[in-house]
Structure 1
Amino acid sequence: MSGRALLMWDDALTGYDFGAGHPMDPVRLALTMGLVRAYGLDRAVEVVAAKPAGDSTLRLVHREDYVAAVRAASADPGAADQAYGLGTLDDPAFAGMHEASALIAGQSVGAAEAVWRGEAAHAVNFAGGLHHAMPGSAAGFCIYNDASLAIARLLELGAERVAYVDVDVHHGDGVQAAFWDDPRVLTVSLHEHPRTLFPGTGWPEETGPSGAAEGGAVNVALPAGTGDAGWLRAFHSVVPELLADFRPQVLVTQHGADTHFEDPLAHLAVSLDAQRAVQVACHDLAHEYAEGRWVALGGGGYAVVDVVPRSWTHLVGVAAHAPVEPESVVPSSWRDEVYARTRQLGPGRMTDGLWPVAWRGWDEGYDPADRLDQAVLAARRAAFPLRGLLP
């Protein structure tokens, strides 16, 4: 296997644009790529662009009638069919929507193909991670589910065990649904509790159907307000043990930056430094359990200047084996770009000032009065015994 890392990028990815005032502002992608270049990470990875996903690829996950509805709405946004989740407040139709969405999907599928074929050890598509789209409908700012399509392509190529770990603040419901009854795929999602956040799913009891796929879905529903120490404790109390048991051939991870305390659409209190720590952990877990095969995706994130570009630039650096030091000063050229594009002042350093982040392992004791520990234990009790593991 090649040790190189790929960064999937095409300037046309910023065409995924729901319009002025929508939280999913494509400037977050442009600013991320600008920061990657400012740090010279585009020379530490190979920057490549894959073709848009064609209809045969999209149909690995999405229904034919849904793809046709997206095409129709793309050609005439005013005729979008809300029965397919199109033309809603969350997912307004826009001209070229099919093409932009298929391009994002194509990057994730291309990343998966390159990793599986040994052309690269790691591949990043920070424009991807659109994990809410369902086989027959759009949802939560997501038109095509690129994460599911990447996994489906891996299975089509012969993969027998693919693990998907989602640390976005929202439940990875679309990916869980796509592989609910497929024992070849393990989905693990750490997210804010469904009582307090969209999409209202991701309860610990959602563990997969009875039979061969039972225990194939694992959900850690975190209490609102969870900060760095609790978030890292939850991750390390669940994910490594599951991967050690499942032994995936490929690890696919989704790194939504909306867990951050500045994110306007959610209620966790995670720092950039903890996000970087989980990125490093996912990289290390890929090497430990998946022979280094790692596909890393973006996801949510709506603090589009202060948080998203820094978080995903760290992700690219980790994948490139050229990590950006948290205390490093952000290049002034990028801050000039931020001001030119947004009339906002960009952050000055690649840290929130909390590095290194301290946390306690699960083996250091359980506090029955602690809501975070209750959430972790609920997930372990629901899913671990189904996989022959102790809760």
Structure 2
Amino acid sequence: MKPLYVYTDELLKYRFNDTHPFNQMRLKLTTDLLTDAGFLTDEDIIKPRKATDEELALVHSRDYIEAVRAAGHGELPKEELAKYGLDSEDTPSFKDMHEKCAALVGATLTAVDLVMTGQTDKALSLAGGLHHGFSGKANGFCVYNDTAIACEYLAQKYGKKVMYIDTDAHHGDGVQWTFYNRSDIVTYSIHETGRYLFPGTGSATERGTEEGFGFTMNLPIDAFTEDESFLEVFKTSIEQAIQIFKPDIILSQNGVDAHFRDPMTHLALTSRSYEEIPRFVRGLADKYTDGKWIAVGGGGYNIWQVVPRMWSQVWLAMKDIDAPSGPLPEKFIDKYKEKCQVDFPVLWEDTLEDFTDIPRRVEIAEKNKSMLDRLMMYLEQ
């Protein structure tokens, strides 16, 4: 079955304000790049539905949902905005917030339903991946946590055991804490150590509690980690985890903010990692979950130079297309180059002329390997 791509321009309306770093224009850029390159057609695209309040309540409290609705209509008092995290610099309220956030969650659930009803075995909704939202509080650019809702939806509606894979530079804290005492939803997050980066959680010792002990996996890698070390840690640990936990389906969050050009993190990945990550996940799905793989977006704050090319690789991996090299399509370059205020990329792969050599490369890699070895010993017990 051919993979399906969930998209509508309505998803671009998730926007806090004009200066906020979370800019869904990156979703439009990615879609146009894939279309202009001939990798995405109208037949591939499915328009999403909007999530219902009942679906949002799979994870979020009813009072929080009503608070989000009221805040989006300018009807929530200031003290209530603070209570629900809707007045912070990271996650301020905005007009029609509930409706626009429910649309984003609905897109992720549309991808879930496409796979679980047999219309495809692989579906992509890049608008999603908002992994920081909590049950009753907005957090870290995230109002409703579509990824956690999707995991719960898979567990409740379809009775599936889920492997949640998060490769965003930031720890997937909202998803982890939602399922911290559960054994039917395994959360795996490889991220920059919280010593230097929001949200400050995700240590290797966070393993779950009660029935969920051992079903939370965190791989906190050191700042300035490069491709080779990242890929070694990721590939070794995630395949071992899937072999042990035997999930029915994979749901992956594909933040691309670990790229060396991202302005908000301290990792040093290049296009090599973003070519390999989704293709490795696809291989795991084909080998262990009967091909079933749902993917969402996530972080990524260099919307011109990084996100469109890196996110495109997720769709190309789903289609089993090798990573392209050489020039981007002229139509795409002509459409956007003049609008870009930085050097506009013209190749699929990174050119690396602005890549800064990492002086502690060996030390960083050894530290990551030591962390990986400790985790593997734990998994083998």
- Fold match, TM over 0.5? yes
Provide the aligned C-alpha RMSD in A.
Answer: 2.0
Instruction: In structure 2, give the amino acid aligned to 1:98.
Output: H
Q: Given the superposition, is the C-alpha separation of residues 79 and 11 from structure 1 closer, same or farther in structure 2, using an over 3 Å criterion?
A: farther
Identify which of 59, 62, 69 aligns with 2:60: 62
Q: 1:286–1:292: 8 Å Cα contact kept in structure 2?
A: yes
Identify which of 46, 50, 53 aligns with 2:51: 53
Q: Given the superposition, is the C-alpha separation of residues 317 and 368 from structure 1 closer, same or farther in structure 2, using an over 3 Å criterion?
A: closer
Q: Answer yes or no: is 1:376 the counterpart of 2:372.
A: yes
Matched with 1:175 is 175
The percent identity for this pair of structures is 33
Kindly state the Cα deviation for residue 26 of structure 1 after the two structures are TM-superposed. 2.0
Kindly state the Cα deviation for residue 76 of structure 1 after the two structures are TM-superposed. 1.0
Q: Deviations over 1:63-109 (max 9, x none)?
A: 00111111011111884612111021001111021111111100111
Q: 1:223–1:375: 8 Å Cα contact kept in structure 2?
A: no
Q: Deviations over 1:19-38 (max 9, x none)?
A: 12211112211111111111
Q: Given the superposition, is the C-alpha separation of residues 79 and 9 from structure 1 closer, same or farther in structure 2, using an over 3 Å criterion?
A: farther
Q: 1:130–1:147: 8 Å Cα contact kept in structure 2?
A: yes
Q: Deviations over 1:269-306 (max 9, x none)?
A: 00122111011001110111110000011100001101
SS of 2:48 mapped into structure 1 = coil
Identify which of 328, 352, 376 aligns with 2:350: 352
Write the distance in 2 (CA, Å) between the matches of 1:343 and 1:334.
16
Q: Deviations over 1:233-260 (max 9, x none)?
A: 1101200011012121110001100000
Identify which of 23, 37, 40 aligns with 1:39: 37
Write the distance in 2 (CA, Å) between the matches of 1:346 and 1:369.
31
Q: Deviations over 1:102-155 (max 9, x none)?
A: 111001111111111211110001111000001111111011111111111111
Matched with 2:360 is none
Q: 2:224–2:364: 8 Å Cα contact kept in structure 1?
A: no
Write the distance in 2 (CA, Å) between the matches of 1:298 and 1:331.
23
Q: Answer yes or no: is 1:16 the counterpart of 2:14.
A: yes
Instruction: In structure 2, give the amino acid aligned to 1:308.
Output: V
Write the distance in 1 (CA, Å) between the matches of 2:333 and 2:364.
46
| Deviation beyond 6 Å, 4+ runs, structure 1 | none
Q: 1:159–1:249: 8 Å Cα contact kept in structure 2?
A: no
TM-score (norm 2): 0.93
Q: 2:162–2:185: 8 Å Cα contact kept in structure 1?
A: yes
Instruction: In structure 1, give the amino acid aligned to 2:313.
Output: H
Q: 1:256–1:298: 8 Å Cα contact kept in structure 2?
A: yes
Q: Given the superposition, is the C-alpha separation of residues 378 and 332 from structure 1 closer, same or farther in structure 2, using an over 3 Å criterion?
A: same
Instruction: In structure 2, give the amino acid aligned to 1:315.
Output: V
TM-score (norm 1): 0.90
Of residues 329-338 and 273-282 in structure 1, the stretch that sits farther from structure 2 once superposed is 329-338
Matched with 1:315 is 314
Matched with 2:202 is 202
Aligned ranges 1:121-136 → 2 under 5 Å = 121-136=121-136
Of residues 77-86 and 370-379 in structure 1, the stretch that sits farther from structure 2 once superposed is 77-86
SS of 2:158 mapped into structure 1 = coil
Write the distance in 1 (CA, Å) between the matches of 2:335 and 2:132.
31
Kindly state the Cα deviation for residue 189 of structure 1 after the two structures are TM-superposed. 0.3
Write the distance in 1 (CA, Å) between the matches of 2:309 and 2:75.
33
Matched with 1:94 is 94
SS of 1:157 mapped into structure 2 = helix
Matched with 1:361 is none
Write the distance in 1 (CA, Å) between the matches of 2:43 and 2:370.
41
In structure 2, the gaps of 5 or more residues are 353-362
SS of 2:212 mapped into structure 1 = coil
Q: 1:131–1:299: 8 Å Cα contact kept in structure 2?
A: yes
SS of 1:376 mapped into structure 2 = helix
Aligned ranges 1:1-391 → 2 under 5 Å = 3-43=1-41, 46-76=44-74, 79=77, 81-210=81-210, 212-325=211-324, 327-353=325-351, 370-381=366-377, 383-384=378-379, 389-390=380-381
Of residues 28-37 and 129-138 in structure 1, the stretch that sits farther from structure 2 once superposed is 28-37
Q: 2:70–2:76: 8 Å Cα contact kept in structure 1?
A: no
Kindly state the Cα deviation for residue 158 of structure 1 after the two structures are TM-superposed. 2.7
SS of 1:221 mapped into structure 2 = strand
Q: Given the superposition, is the C-alpha separation of residues 114 and 153 from structure 1 closer, same or farther in structure 2, using an over 3 Å criterion?
A: same
Write the distance in 1 (CA, Å) between the matches of 2:365 and 2:233.
16
Of residues 213-222 and 112-121 in structure 1, the stretch that sits farther from structure 2 once superposed is 112-121
Instruction: In structure 2, give the amino acid aligned to 1:115.
Output: V
Matched with 1:363 is none
Q: Deviations over 1:198-247 (max 9, x none)?
A: 0010010110103x321110000100010000100110120001101212
Matched with 1:358 is none
SS of 1:229 mapped into structure 2 = helix
Instruction: In structure 2, give the amino acid aligned to 1:380.
Output: M
Instruction: In structure 1, give the amino acid aligned to 2:373.
Output: L
Q: Given the superposition, is the C-alpha separation of residues 99 and 205 from structure 1 closer, same or farther in structure 2, using an over 3 Å criterion?
A: same
SS of 1:322 mapped into structure 2 = coil
Q: 2:115–2:294: 8 Å Cα contact kept in structure 1?
A: yes
Q: Deviations over 1:339-373 (max 9, x none)?
A: 3544555211111158xxxxxxxxxxxx9991111
Q: What is the aligned residue count?
A: 370
Q: 1:62–1:134: 8 Å Cα contact kept in structure 2?
A: yes
Q: 1:112–1:151: 8 Å Cα contact kept in structure 2?
A: no
In structure 1, the gaps of 5 or more residues are 355-366
